């Protein structure tokens, strides 16, 4: 995946914590630490959106649809 250099503004205390993690070799460098943090946040947001959409589903309706589809499929299944 290609990478692009960007400039960011970050609070000194946050940067100090990042630098401490780099010194402890948790991350190879500042860029890697920030990249992983952003990626993790994006993934968490994606999961949150999925959970929000799932919460909109009507469990009774979804079960009825699954049961309906299953009963139709059972007829078409070969007997063993």
User: Which domain covers residue 25, as residue numbers?
Assistant: 12-76
Q: How high is the pLDDT of residue 62?
A: 77
Helix/strand/coil for 48: helix
- Domain assignment present for 43: yes
Q: How far apart are CA 49 and CA 44, in angstroms?
A: 9
- Domain assignment present for 37: yes
Helix/strand/coil for 2: coil
The answer to whether the CB of 29 falls within 8 A of the CB of 22 is yes
- Count Cβ atoms within 10 A of the Cβ of residue 9 and give its class: 0-12 exposed, 13-18 middle, 19 or more buried: exposed
Q: How high is the pLDDT of residue 76?
A: 66
- Domain assignment present for 41: yes
pLDDT band at 7 (very low <50, low <70, confident <90, very high): very high
How do residues 16-68 score in pLDDT, each as one tens digit?
A: 999 999 999 999 999 999 999 999 999 988 888 877 777 788 888 877 777 77
The answer to whether the CB of 54 falls within 8 A of the CB of 47 is no
Q: How high is the pLDDT of residue 22?
A: 98
- Domain assignment present for 6: no
Domain count, the chain: 1
Q: How high is the pLDDT of residue 60?
A: 85
- Domain assignment present for 2: no
């Amino acid at each position: 995946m290609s990478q692009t250099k960007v400039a960011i503004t970050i609070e000194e205390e946050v940067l100090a914590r990042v630098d401490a993690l780099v010194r402890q070799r948790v991350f190879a460098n500042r860029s890697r630490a920030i990249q992983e943090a952003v990626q993790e946040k994006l993934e968490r947001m994606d999961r949150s959106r999925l959970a929000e959409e799932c919460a909109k589903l009507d469990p009774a309706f979804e079960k009825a649809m699954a049961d309906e589809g299953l009963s139709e499929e059972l007829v078409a299944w070969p007997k063993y």
